[in-house]
Amino acid sequence: MVVESAKLWQVRLLGLTPAALSLVAVLLAAVPFGLPFFGPVVPGFAVMSVFYWSIFRPELMPGWAAFILGLVQDALTGVPFGATSIILVLVQGICLSQRKVFVGKSFAIGWWGFVLMAGGAAAVSWAIASLYALHLYDPRPVVVQFVLTVSIYPAVAWFFGRIEIAVLRRAG
Amino acid sequence: MRMRGGRITRIAMPIKALAQRFAFALLLALSLALLAMSRADFVWAERARVAIIDVAEPLLAALSRPTQLARSAMRSFEEMMHLQEENQRLRQDNQRLQHWQQVALRLEQDNALLRRLLQVNTDPQMAFVTARVVSEPAGAFVRTVLVNAGQRDGLKRGDAVTADLGFVGRVIEAGQRAARVLLVTDLNSRIPVMVGTARSRGILAGDNGPTPRVEYLPGSAQVSVGDRVVTSGDGGLLPPGLAIGEVASVSDNIVRVRPLVDLARIEWVQVVRYEQPQPNLSPSKFLGPR
């Protein structure tokens, strides 16, 4: 009985891995690297993380986790509260409804799906920011950010895949 | 057993899907509501943000340590490469500065004498708090940084922030242990400034680009490239005379300013705790004996 409940707790704790990794991703995006011109175009790690886990382990990336991740990112980067939450909740919701398209398919299809999703996220975030400030923002940093994000995605997805095999599958 | 399990699944699946859709709509509505409340400057929205940055500050500080080490290693390497040039430059600087020191000493004496004659007492009360930058100006829409000092160090909203050479921005959110600084390049930054030796007044307005522009300069203002731009202290929120940058270009009445500090690579800042001087306006002094 004791062993069983300990096992249950272990599974629950390990189940937090995707959310915890996403939180680290959000923090890492805010850490100063001191590279000129990098700040405005720092890749959207949070979108990558929410996309990946919503498709491959949807039960471990619920909507409220995406919502909270968005709030934390908003607070850290200084954008209006709720702006990133909208993006991440949308990404999570759309992935959840479309995950059958991606699960068990080749990596290229997953990457293509991510390109569409990250493109949509970039466009929506630009629209929200512009509406909020009633000012048409220069779209170039958003485009560069999008290109960087989709080019880094394979490496990040590979890393998440290793984590999934090493930690989550063992936990059952 | 299997039959029953199947039936339960058949019934449970649509319910689960419905619940998911409901949660999705709810969270989306909640995000939109938050956004609307931020737009309306709800106080608790700011409190929540400040609470999050307070919690995240130690984590960010820990995560930024390795990158800071790498940066300082890179900088020492760069310095080693240019040791000889640097030495020569410093010698020249030293000569020039010694001359300026003499000038400054003389002016200081003159100034003290004149102040005594006029009985003015307008020296602002300034104190500095040094803090480390723990988050980069991240994202395409804002130019802000987080620093690891807050209300417990005496910071408050509106304080001026400088970094080695000049003014970089203002504190817009102050938590207990962390604060957010709005850089002069941000779209929302408006700083009252003076330009050049004529001290023409204007407002330095950021536009998210590297060179903010000076707006509302009087039509008669003579501005040329290289003119110094300093805070004017108008409005009493910021201390006057803090250097911001130099005029980088003047074209079609658009004056652009290059900040003295490389805002993409700030590591340390000094927050100026400024008390507005109380004007010494006892009537007797100005009106003389009646």
Output the pLDDT for position B2: 46
Output the pLDDT for position B284: 46
Q: How far apart are CA B64 and CA A32, in angstroms?
A: 6
Instruction: With a cut of 60, say whether residue B281 has pLDDT above it.
Output: no
Q: What is the Cα B174 distance to its own chain's centre?
A: 12
Output the pLDDT for position B164: 79
CA dihedral A25, B143, B37, B50 (to 10 degrees): 60
Mean pLDDT score, B91-100: 92
User: pLDDT, tens digit, for every residue of B21-49?
Assistant: 888 999 999 999 999 888 888 888 888 88
3-state SS, one letter per residue, for A146-167 = HHHHHHHHHHHHHHHHHHHHHH
Output the pLDDT for position B174: 92
The mean pLDDT of chain A is: 87
Chains A, B: CB contacts under 8 A, how many? 158
Residues of chain A positioned with their CB less than 8 A from the CB of B59: 27
Task: Choose the closest CB to B180 out of A78, A86, A125.
Answer: A78
Instruction: With a cut of 80, say whether residue B120 has pLDDT above it.
Output: no
Query: Looking at chain B, which residue has its C-alpha nearest residue A143?
Result: B140
> What amino acid occupies position B3?
M
Q: B205-230 as b/e, with b when 16 or more CB fall inside 10 Å?
A: bbbbebbbbbeebeeebebeeebbbb
User: pLDDT, tens digit, for every residue of B220-240?
Assistant: 888 889 999 999 988 878 888
Q: Enumerate the H helices of chain B as residue ranges.
A: 2-39, 43-81, 83-118, 283-287
- The alpha carbon dihedral of A24, A26, A32, A36 has a sign of positive
Among residues of chain B, what percentage have pLDDT more than 70?
89
Query: First-to-last CA distance in chain A?
Result: 18
Mean pLDDT score, A4-31: 84
User: Helix (H, G, I), strand (E, B), or coil: what is residue A70?
Assistant: helix
Mean pLDDT score, B53-69: 85
Query: Looking at chain B, which residue has its C-alpha nearest residue A72?
Result: B52
Among residues of chain A, what percentage have pLDDT more than 90?
47
Residues of chain A positioned with their CB less than 8 A from the CB of B53: 75-76
How close A28 comes to chain B (CA, Å)? 7
If pLDDT is split at 50, 70 and 90, which confidence band does A1 have?
low
Instruction: With a cut of 50, say whether residue B288 has pLDDT above it.
Output: no
User: pLDDT, tens digit, for every residue of A107-116?
Assistant: 899 999 999 9
> What amino acid occupies position A6?
A
Output the pLDDT for position A81: 87
Q: Do B32 and A142 touch (CB under 8 A)?
A: no
If pLDDT is split at 50, 70 and 90, which confidence band does B280 have?
low
If pLDDT is split at 50, 70 and 90, which confidence band does B289 have?
very low
Query: Where do the domains of chain A lie, and which CATH numbers do they carry?
Result: 2-171 (1.10.1760)
Query: First-to-last CA distance in chain B?
Result: 108
Instruction: With a cut of 80, say whether residue B124 has pLDDT above it.
Output: no
Q: Do A77 and B145 touch (CB under 8 A)?
A: no
Determine which helix (DSSP H) or strand (DSSP E) holds B156, and give its type and residue range.
none
User: pLDDT, tens digit, for every residue of A110-156?
Assistant: 999 999 999 999 999 999 999 998 888 889 889 999 999 999 999 99
Mean pLDDT score, B50-64: 88
Q: How many CB atoms within 10 Å of residue B118?
A: 9
Are the C-beta atoms of B140 and A142 separated by less than 8 Å?
Answer: yes
User: Helix (H, G, I), strand (E, B), or coil: what is residue A46?
Assistant: helix
